[in-house]
Amino acid sequence: MSSKKTDAPRESQLAGTQTPDKANTNAKLQSLENFRADATGEALRTNQGVKIADNQNSLKAGARGPSLLEDFIMREKITHFDHERIPERIVHARGTGAHGYFQSYGDHAALTKAGFLRDPEAITPVFVRFSTVQGPRGSGDTVRDVRGFAVKFYTDEGNFDLVGNNMPVFFIQDAIKFPDFVHAVKPEPHNEIPTGGSAHDTFWDFVSLVPESAHMVIWAMSDRAIPRSLRMMEGFGVHTFRLINAEGVASFVKFHWKPAQGVHSVLWDEAQKLAGKDTDYHRRDLWEAIETGDYPEWELGVQIVPEADEHKFDFDLLDPTKIIPEELVPVTPLGKMVLNRNPDNFFAEVEQIAFCPGHIVPGIDFSNDPLLQGRLFSYTDTQISRLGGPNFHEIPINRPVAPNHNGQRDALHRMTIDKGRASYEPNSIDGGWPKETAPAAEDGGFESHQERIDATKIRQRSESFSDHFSQARLFFQSMSENEQQHIIKAYSFELGKVEREHIRIREVNEILANIDLKLAAAVAANLGLPAPKKGTVQVKGSSLAKSPALSQMNLPGSVGIKGRKIALLVADGVDGADVDRLVKALEAQAARPLLLGPSSAPVKTADGKALPVDASMEGMPSVMVDGILVPAGKASLQALAGSGLAKHYLLEGYKHLKAIGVAKDGKALLDSLGLKEDAGLLVGDDQKVIDAFVKAVEGHRVWAREAAAEAIPA
């Protein structure tokens, strides 16, 4: 009896019930903990206690002018942000990379005096780092996210870093907001969830309150955020830069990387499955492609705008949330980049490489884009913390191939042993060396582009930055029907994870409705919300109704099915001659045929020979390949028809809109699965079937099948 009487209050205490005295005691104890902060009802202040009047704009020389170094608010905010995590990168932590080279197509002297763009015989070494933005080093490769695309050119005039993404715009317009955006998109601070994704309240709370993010968010909700391969991504410099020729004539430019293999993505269902089946899917794909000689290749091009035309568009060239549609300014090809060598040591190369948009060479210069202006400070600052001091340029992967003599000395991890007594300039002790190089000299020193500035020192966003929806609308309306449906499903999935209904309502009514009412209505229906009848702002009209260059459907690439992985499903009794025929046909197209069996053990052909396989069907599931072939052989086809694993393989490949070719005798296998022939589901043993299969793989997906594939279980 006594045991029961004492157990009841004990259980209630464990459940969280407290007596008033204990609650008061805890309150008193917490009041002494001055390291806990509650910002409710408090003014926004600097770390020194100064109230902040404007947290939206950095200090500039005029609304469209350059950012000023004296902006102590921005510098304090970004300095703190840069040093939040050690040693992992705060953003772009999950990455991989490769060595390669760049070669100019010709002498682009009319455009720039940069040497690596003027000599078509020169081979410029490069190192490229690809990455996801949100997640830590241990996160998955195939999460929905922006991908970093950073290239270090080791030119003979010094290092040039083109630090971009696989999307041409960004979430914010001014660098002072970068810490806010990243804090919102990173895992929530109370539980560190979600890892590697943006389907959570803080991200959507921020972007629904910051309309300038609308354009970038719709890119992130598109298939661009779930690429099939790092080899199949476009890259962009994001910002507007300048190229300057020997006569001092400057042009505004936007940098583009266009992949030879086209721009392709996985489906959302595939992305989720790949995250579980192979967390390293993208880095493995890049590594294997280089090891097998399928070297990834991109063309570097620029959109060129003469300085006199700076203001001729219905958007501002300095606004990093805007593109220049290629229909208005075509991309001019400059040269090609090939990645042909994997790193020898991941940490020493991929992890220790340090990029900075401020690493430029003569002939390249900046614009007054306020996001770029902040990045010029932030990247170097964060490397100092992450790589142990200011000598990160001494790490082998960061060393320029050009000499780098100056008066900078000492500090942590100094590796160069400098001779001479003078570490200052000018000097007479060491004969004045090293000396300045006159800009006009043949081997001229760097000279900043001269730009007249006559402006008021001010914290203000230019009025020309105020249109936040017209290009987001252009993007959505430029998509194919399939791509539009994928965007609708992405918004619906992401917002469906948001716990606070007012955030979902705000995103639908105040963001999506201003982009496109069809989009807003579809997402609202999927969330159980009323469809908005109109937007909340008057959206500025675009000079284009559509931009075909924005749709992946129009970016198939130029190399056919080179490097595509094609699974050949085999079992005991397979026709060895037919396997050999299919393998040779695929190799003739530079594709990668992979023999997959019921297990990793060899199978026996119909004439009793052992046929080694590359993997089991379970070890390399259909989400890891680009197409599926089933060779002839009566016994093999019967075995596959009786295998749940094989049938699932074909059903899943069909659901994911992949090309499937089955030997003539395998029609019964397809019939048993309830699958009907289409442009990418082919039956037969002749060359006509092979040709149709190759064409279907070139198209990446059998898009006309998508409605029928919805009926296939996940």
**Half-sphere exposure in the Cβ direction for 604 (13 Å, CA):** 6
Distance CA 333, CA 355 (A): 24
Q: Among 563, 676, 571, 702, which Cα is nearest to 625's?
A: 563
Q: Cα–Cα distance between 470 and 540 in angstroms, integer?
A: 6
Residues with Cβ within 8 Å of residue 471, at least 6 apart in sequence: 169, 215, 315, 321, 322, 323, 542
CA distance 494 to 252: 37
**92 classed as catalytic:** yes
Annotated catalytic residue 449: no
Q: Which of 92, 99, 393, 656 is catalytic?
A: 92
Residue pair 353/207 in contact by the 8 Å Cβ criterion: no
* Number of Cβ atoms within 10 Å of the Cβ of 651: 17
H or E element at residue 180: helix 178-185
Nearest to 690 by CA among 587, 614, 617, 601: 587
- 250 pairs with which residues across the strands? 244
Phi, psi dihedral angles at 236 (to 5 degrees): -140, 145
CA 126 to CA 158: how far, in whole Å?
12
DSSP 92: S
CA distance 590 to 594: 13
Burial class (CB in 10 A: 0-12, 13-18, 19+), 112: buried
List all residues 6 or more positions away from 317 whose beta carbon is below 8 Å from its beta carbon. Answer: 240, 252, 305, 310, 324, 367
Counting every residue, how long is the chain?
Answer: 714
**How many C-beta atoms surround the C-beta of residue 557 within 10 A?**
19
Q: Which residue, among 587, 575, 561, 570, has the nearest Cα to 639 in the 3D structure? A: 570
- Choosing from 165, 368, 391, 482, the catalytic residue is 165
Angle between helices 481-496 and 268-277 (to 10 degrees): 60
Of the candidates 291, 371, 382, 373, the one whose C-alpha atom is nearest the C-alpha of residue 93 is 382
CA distance 441 to 367: 25
Positive or negative torsion for Cα 401, 404, 405, 410: negative
Q: Cα–Cα distances in Å, from 684 out to 204, 461, 677?
A: 50, 63, 11
Cα-based torsion angle of the residue sequence 56, 376, 93, 295 in order, rounded to the nearest 10 degrees: 130
Sign of CA dihedral 272, 274, 276, 281: negative
Please state, in angstroms and rounded to a whole number, the distance separating the CA atoms of residues 11 and 571.
Answer: 61
Contact assessment for residue 232 and residue 294, using Cβ atoms and an 8 Å cutoff: no
Q: Which residues are catalytic?
A: 92, 165
